[in-house]
Structure 1
């Protein structure tokens, strides 16, 4: 993976059209900005109950977007990342429909996980209480089978997402077949979606077990042999993230987004600086994604202190609600059919009260943090909360999943913020110092982040008290200073 800025996007929601339109956009209006693209689910269908994360056929490109040849062409110029949805598949798939029709006699019976497979002697209340689920309600869905029989299928997320038995021969073959298809079509990196939930074991939390690491290792080995890198997507306690990072190729730095917000809200960088001293270096950094802004990643857990305490987290969430004029509250928690208990649904731009300066500071901090930065398509264009889409779908996360077209993109590219972030992206891509060593220092409202490689260095200095921020770059015995305040005014 190149150490350059990457884009995260849905194909249809950014362009309003298919893969060829995205290729054209990247080669024209966005030329030279992104070395890689994380293509959010483009499998059949893209408009299931979970925006493509409930594939009927994981190896089929939705025909509305094109076909594998279009994906392969896009991958000629950009490193492509795709989601390997390891934990589940659609209840509408031919495989699960065959199970409902034939029961245990189906050739696909062993592909799916039931409560009875994990708890053959029954599930006690104590065992039930230990199971970790990020969503309210039961993690099982009872389905009728032939001969008046039934089975409780494991559905970690929704009743349309049936969990796969990844330990079975057919489960392993299913995942291997997807990886082979990816490798044949220029997919260079896979994001292991919901990998932490893939292994279940009686008497445990059924989340990030020791056996889960073995599963990830085995899957990574298969992928690596096909020329594919792996990225693990896990929301968890921050010290757990540090341990996970030691055992995998790459992880997300999900603690960064809420810590940056907390720093700007409180004008205090102490918590952020603490994290940057110990954060994994083999990470992908984000501010926003297709999901909400994670909170569990910085909070306390099981009596252990977090990067923020409960009061600080409550204040953080309430400030997001206030800045977004309570739009985020309409999309978070029990509102709007929300399914994630540990995330706030809101654009990062609205979380910062649509302040271009604060948002540019946030992006600059992200780009200077250890790891490879990814920028979400709505965040690139400083899109506000899409309340119309939220009202239409009543899906909380749609508040930050807008459908755009080329006219709207053209207008957004002329925003002062968008022009400024494009300058920052080019700076991050072209400055050699970012391939060197990282240091960070802070004093309450003052933050200094520095990268140095030989005689080349790049330093970000942010003073929240004076509302000033600048970047100093030294290359070839010459120093230049870039003021973030001036970047916005120049644009």
Structure 2
């Protein structure tokens, strides 16, 4: 895929698979691909589909596998392989709870004693990294009355798989077969960084995790699909995992753009452009919020920005959102800062159209495969009402759009500007050529693509928050708009 992809929920943008396809075949036809966030049974569980009861079935309220195959007829389709956990209501887990060792799924789920057969000391247990407050265990009682402590890294109803056991691998193979047969072309390994628990470490993206990624990536490729890995972590982890898979996320770009726009400097961006993996899906926003941890330090290991600079990004976000981002963002166990900002990217930039389109222009000019989140495409601000109803911080960035709201957004300056960038990146021949960048001043950068006689050049100044695009065969695009002499 050389164009731009859309990241969306089927129910929140189109109302289902058929409505989503209508939008992608119509006003949003310039997107070369779509990543449909979990559409399995149920798509609206406690973690909005990331807690599948049946990972092999399309929720009939959204459509069917035939609908997914129709979507895949003229575009890339990405879907999630949730490798770390399943729902506590899944047939596999409930059968194991009821039947224990007689269940064919015995060994599929990770229990406390599988990791600590001789018991765990306090220091070992508290060393595990968890993106939520508290410890990663939930007590369950089996049909024989036996009490078990089951690993639940994310939520009590999301039970972790024991990825070292053949039963878990059989389960993953079955899901991959369903995805492939359903028309999916790229598989995202969700939450893979948490899948392997290694006593004596924080168990996040260890050497054992990398070995698991190699194995599961081979399994995906054997099924004829590409592999995208999702890891929110120190940037060195992205560099380490990039050679093992087809695609990684450039999660560092989003916080580095916020740092640059907040400080009027481009040195940190330029350094990242020098070392970032090129096989990256470039993002500014996702369904999970804006990851700041991805640019920060890890323990004694320096980051692309330091701890105080991370804190400053959170402070500026709080100011731009009138303090709401502080309410919505969760501080993980043993941490002093959240690992992400729960807010829309447009809200964090104060709803400033020119600044927002500048950030998108930089995203679209970087090597890799740009991806736009549906809320970002429509210029969405924080959905504080949804957050107030659910209490889930990430819901501020997960609005349910009506047909009327989509139509209104399509006429907005933000959506028209983003779609212009989508068309440029998708269609201009320069982007099939060579990329280069250079620092113009302490606050300005130039990013360029050249392919024979074709070129596309982006000049940005983060201090004045202005940019200009000059592409062969097209009139210049600049923000703020200027009258050419």
TM-score strictly above 0.5: yes
| Paired position in structure 1 for 2:348 | 351
| Paired position in structure 1 for 2:443 | 445
Closer, same or farther: CA 334–239 of 1 in aligned 2, 3 Å: closer
Mapped partners of 2:394, 2:144: distance in 1 = 40
| Paired position in structure 1 for 2:470 | 472
1:195 aligns with 2:192: yes
Alpha-carbon distance, 1:435 to partner: 2.2
Alpha-carbon distance, 1:453 to partner: 2.4
More displaced 10-residue stretch of structure 1: 457-466 or 394-403: 457-466
Mapped partners of 1:51, 1:440: distance in 2 = 39
Q: Indicate conservation of the 8 Å contact 1:284/1:372, yes or no.
A: yes
Q: Indicate conservation of the 8 Å contact 2:358/2:466, yes or no.
A: no
1:5 aligns with 2:19: no
Mapped partners of 1:93, 1:469: distance in 2 = 50
1:23 to 21, 30, 44: 21
Q: Indicate conservation of the 8 Å contact 1:135/1:341, yes or no.
A: no
Alpha-carbon distance, 1:423 to partner: 1.0
Counterpart mapping for 1:318-467 below 5 A? 318-333=315-330, 341-442=338-439, 443-467=441-465
Number of residue equivalences: 479
Closer, same or farther: CA 469–58 of 1 in aligned 2, 3 Å: same
1:43 aligns with 2:40: yes
Mapped partners of 1:479, 1:230: distance in 2 = 35
| Paired position in structure 2 for 1:256 | 253
1:62-97 deviations in Å (ceiling 9; x for gaps) = 111011111111111221000000000000111111
| Paired position in structure 2 for 1:214 | 211
Mapped partners of 1:304, 1:424: distance in 2 = 36
Alpha-carbon distance, 1:362 to partner: 0.6
2:68 to 44, 54, 71: 71
Mapped partners of 1:145, 1:44: distance in 2 = 24
1:297 aligns with 2:275: no
RMSD over equivalenced CA pairs, Å: 1.8
Alpha-carbon distance, 1:330 to partner: 2.0
Which sections of structure 2, spanning at least 5 residues, go unmatched? none
Alpha-carbon distance, 1:120 to partner: 0.7
1:163 aligns with 2:160: yes
| Paired position in structure 2 for 1:111 | 108
The secondary structure found in structure 1 opposite 2:185 is strand
The secondary structure found in structure 1 opposite 2:375 is helix
Mapped partners of 2:474, 2:414: distance in 1 = 25
The secondary structure found in structure 2 opposite 1:14 is coil
With normalisation by structure 2, the TM-score equals 0.95
Alpha-carbon distance, 1:480 to partner: 4.7
Mapped partners of 2:63, 2:474: distance in 1 = 47
Moved over 6 A (4+): none
Alpha-carbon distance, 1:296 to partner: 1.0
Q: Indicate conservation of the 8 Å contact 1:136/1:341, yes or no.
A: no
Alpha-carbon distance, 1:53 to partner: 0.2
1:314-367 deviations in Å (ceiling 9; x for gaps) = 1111001101111212211269xxxx9411100000000000000000100100
1:481 aligns with 2:479: no
Closer, same or farther: CA 457–120 of 1 in aligned 2, 3 Å: same
Which sections of structure 1, spanning at least 5 residues, go unmatched? none
Counterpart mapping for 1:42-191 below 5 A? 42-191=39-188
Mapped partners of 2:284, 2:294: distance in 1 = 13
Q: Indicate conservation of the 8 Å contact 1:153/1:162, yes or no.
A: yes
More displaced 10-residue stretch of structure 1: 57-66 or 237-246: 237-246
Mapped partners of 1:281, 1:197: distance in 2 = 24
| Paired position in structure 2 for 1:14 | 13
Closer, same or farther: CA 157–482 of 1 in aligned 2, 3 Å: same
Alpha-carbon distance, 1:129 to partner: 3.0
1:277-323 deviations in Å (ceiling 9; x for gaps) = 11010110111000011111111112121111111111111001101
Q: Indicate conservation of the 8 Å contact 2:355/2:466, yes or no.
A: no
Mapped partners of 2:263, 2:476: distance in 1 = 27
With normalisation by structure 1, the TM-score equals 0.94
